[in-house]
Chain A
Amino acid sequence: MSVKLLLEKAHVEGIRSYDVYRREGGYRAVEKALKTMSPEAIVEEVKKSGLRGRGGAGFPTGMKWSFIAKPEGVPRHLVCNADESEPGTFKDRYLMEFLPHLLIEGLIISSFALGSNATYIYIRGEYAWIPDILEHAIREAKANGWLGKNILGTGFDLEIYVQRGAGAYICGEETALIESLEGKRGNPRIKPPFPAVKGVWDRPTVVNNVESLAAVVPIINIGAEEYAKIGVGRSTGTKLISACGNINKPGVYEIDMTISVEEFIYSDEYCGGIKNGKRLKACIPGGSSVPILPANLLLKTAKGETRYMNYESLSDGGFATGSMMGSGGFIVLDEDQCVVKNTYTLARFYRHESCGQCSPCREGTGWMEKILKKIDSGKGAMSDIDLLWDIQRKIEGNTICPLGDAAAWPVAAAIRHFRDEFEWHVKNPEECLVRNYGLAGYAEPRPIPA
């Protein structure tokens, strides 16, 4: 039994077009919001719904909206962050590609709530075909009177613009995104001032993830109370999870955050178990930057409780024995995979994507990559493992933006949970060139709870 709010209509044929979307009950939420609700009431509604930002940090969306400064005579802006570049995350792509009108509907309501008359969708450059889909949908919406001047006779004007990025992970960080949107080099700004006070062109700005903005539609449709009933605790509503890796059914799934991680991996409704009947070794539950968890800590928390797919349960135990919900990029590794190689690949990514503005991230990511490459290719020493630990410790928390943390956490978690694999690489310099740890370490599999 699963609740579907966002992807409910995803499989209706032709849902991408306006006519079908409207026939299926689309734009009802806009009508309800603009005609019967005040902007403050919408913000209040979103606050009550308990919706948390779906981009990774999980900050309550309604709270973020209420922080926006409202100086007299200064325009405000809403920016939709569609720069989904986290390795392992592809939920926003699915949403924009198949349900573009859902996003636009969410954008209209959110813009109305925030008082933004010019709203931007900043989309990553690699999604080359999606801007066309979005722009087509915007044209359709405009032709039918949902955008433009005086929408539904309420006197509210709104234009939505699609801005293509040039392919930089860092532009998913909200202040770097704003810089890039302004046509500058995508360097994160130093906060404060926060975007809610000084964002795009120094105007108050809210930057939200695609999924967060789309989730506003069901909140308005079914009401905040109903929405808050779905899910558990402070993880309300539904969450899109993009599952990939060694599983039978990779793809985007909508879950209601009450199911356990075990169910998500093994049930046929979701991932359908590990491919080729292998054993589960580890999992990165929320996109590449969150800590990796070994199977025994993934299915059960350190206290022995079942781990569920929600914000609180996944982060139970802190970084020592837990991880994070993150952006919902669920990467599963089976027993044949090598954590060292995996970590090296991630480190290479972060080194390539660091903006180079602040020294710990610029120099540290490159250094970590070089050491990991050295260990991976059998030239490492035991001291390198401790050195890696020390480097990540010096990067974390000392950078301008969270990219430094995102680069440090995977390395820290890999060493914390899989130190034996790093040591195996050091002790078996020749074997690790032909086989990775996963294939060589068959004899002694990690204990997996029954």
Chain B
Amino acid sequence: MAEEKKLFKVTIDNITVEVEPGTTILNAARLVGGEVAPPAMCYYSKLKGSGGKCRTCLVEVAAGSTADPRPMPKLVASCRTTVMDGMIVKNITSERVQDARAGIVEFLLLNHPLDCPICDQAGECHLQELSYEHGKEGTRYEFGKRTFKKHDLGPYIQLHMTRCILCYRCVFVADQLTNKRVHGVLDRGDHAEIATYIEKALDNDFIGNVIDVCPVGALTDKTFRFKNRVWFTKPMDAHRDCPTCCGEVQLWMRGDEVFRVTARKDEWGEIKDASDGKTGWICNECRFEKKDAKDWIIDGPTHVSRHSVISANHYEKVIQPQETLPEVMGGRNPKLLMDIHSISEVNRPDIHLSEIEGPAHSDDFNEP
């Protein structure tokens, strides 16, 4: 007898959703989507125990639950706080949250080298997106940034510790995917670093997944390093019959050449579930050895979403994030600062652009 589960009602930024008990605020907000979902740098839904460390997903809980409607005094990490029935959460509608988040972004960028022009992660970097959305244009930090030497973790993986934001995701991957973890966090505080204790290679069959989970360019694929920029390559869904893993991957191609192989990712940048229902981690052989289009059966172009710089508008069925702002603002649409069309001398406001067929041409405005 399947009893009907009681769903919890939670209101996030004036939008109410019903979720199962035990869901975290972050996952509830992701159901709403769009701007309402808080950014997450360390949380990874596929990794048990992750989250809570980066503090970018802090939200304000304005009412704990229907039973106990007191607000929570501190901002809480939405990735590790479960929802209660009748909880009211403020994310983008709370100034406190926006202020704290701007602070966190500033902290994360303090010692980050900002070497995006030479970083392989650029274009699909979560820290880049976070700083575009929440960062300030300048820095108030006037001291030298901390630097580390580059570490070679075997033939496939390069560790560039200077870029690391210590999200611990790669540590969780090694813990949960491999039988023996050989790397971890050494030292503490702002001199903590990810390292193998003695220069050691990471050579487990699944260790390549640390590259996929790394939110920044600290762990990079040596077979792809400096070969191309991600926005020049086009993602293709492909699969092969792999004895070790699910074999469902994304090929990053330019022309006929396969530059890079990664696991398939969802709209939150996390690895998708494979067709067998398990998380689609891929093995090192698929990731690093099969760089020929002939090795793969190509299913077709990936439907890219959210991550705009990668082939935006190149493919059909682009999944647009849900437009949440009108709902958050109680039915009002964000007001345009200036409607250029209505004040322009060149464009005649009496001619509606939407009524012109095809691209507008100067002739369209010159008509009497």
The CA of A356 and the CA of B164, in the complex, are separated in Å by: 12
Q: Which of chain A's residues have a CB closer than 8 A to the CB of B187?
A: 356
**Distance from A442 Cβ to chain B, minimum over Cβ atoms (Å):** 33
Asked if A76 is an interface residue, CB under 8 A from chain B, the answer is no
The answer to whether A359 touches B55, judged by C-beta atoms less than 8 angstroms apart, is yes
Asked if A170 is an interface residue, CB under 8 A from chain B, the answer is yes
Interface string of A342-371 (1 = CB under 8 A from B): 000000000111111111101111110010
The answer to whether A354 touches B103, judged by C-beta atoms less than 8 angstroms apart, is no
Closest B residue to A366 by CB, please name it.
B190
**Distance from A446 Cβ to chain B, minimum over Cβ atoms (Å):** 31
The CA of A399 and the CA of B106, in the complex, are separated in Å by: 15
The CA of A394 and the CA of B54, in the complex, are separated in Å by: 13
Known contacts A354-B188, A356-B185, A387-B140; A397/B110 CB under 8 A? no
**Distance from A45 Cβ to chain B, minimum over Cβ atoms (Å):** 30
Q: Is the interface of B mostly helix, strand, loop or mixed?
A: loop
The answer to whether B74 touches A397, judged by C-beta atoms less than 8 angstroms apart, is yes
The answer to whether B190 touches A360, judged by C-beta atoms less than 8 angstroms apart, is no
Q: Which of chain B's residues have a CB closer than 8 A to the CB of A57?
A: none
Asked if B143 is an interface residue, CB under 8 A from chain A, the answer is yes
Closest B residue to A188 by CB, please name it.
B52
Q: Which of chain A's residues have a CB closer than 8 A to the CB of B165?
A: 359
The answer to whether B166 touches A357, judged by C-beta atoms less than 8 angstroms apart, is yes
Residues in chain B within 8 A of chain A (CB atoms): 51-56, 58, 74-75, 77, 80, 99-100, 103-104, 106-108, 110-111, 140-141, 143, 165-166, 168, 184-185, 187-192
Q: Which of chain B's residues have a CB closer than 8 A to the CB of A397?
A: 74-75
The answer to whether A359 touches B80, judged by C-beta atoms less than 8 angstroms apart, is no
The answer to whether B74 touches A363, judged by C-beta atoms less than 8 angstroms apart, is no
Q: Which of chain A's residues have a CB closer than 8 A to the CB of B100?
A: 394, 398
The answer to whether B107 touches A359, judged by C-beta atoms less than 8 angstroms apart, is yes
**Distance from A112 Cβ to chain B, minimum over Cβ atoms (Å):** 34
List 14 interface pairs A-B (beta carbons < 8 Å), by A numbering.
A355-B188, A358-B55, A359-B166, A360-B103, A360-B107, A367-B141, A387-B140, A393-B103, A394-B99, A394-B103, A394-B107, A398-B75, A398-B103, A400-B52
The CA of A190 and the CA of B100, in the complex, are separated in Å by: 19
The answer to whether B108 touches A363, judged by C-beta atoms less than 8 angstroms apart, is yes
Known contacts A357-B166, A364-B107, A367-B141; A400/B53 CB under 8 A? yes
The answer to whether B190 touches A356, judged by C-beta atoms less than 8 angstroms apart, is yes
The CA of A370 and the CA of B110, in the complex, are separated in Å by: 12
The CA of A393 and the CA of B56, in the complex, are separated in Å by: 16
Asked if A168 is an interface residue, CB under 8 A from chain B, the answer is yes
Asked if A278 is an interface residue, CB under 8 A from chain B, the answer is no
Q: Which 5 A-B pairs have the closest CB atoms?
A: A394-B103, A356-B192, A190-B52, A363-B107, A366-B190
Q: Which of A363-420 contact B (CB under 8 A)?
A: 363-367, 370, 387, 393-394, 397-400
The CA of A286 and the CA of B36, in the complex, are separated in Å by: 42
Interface string of A173-189 (1 = CB under 8 A from B): 00000000000010000
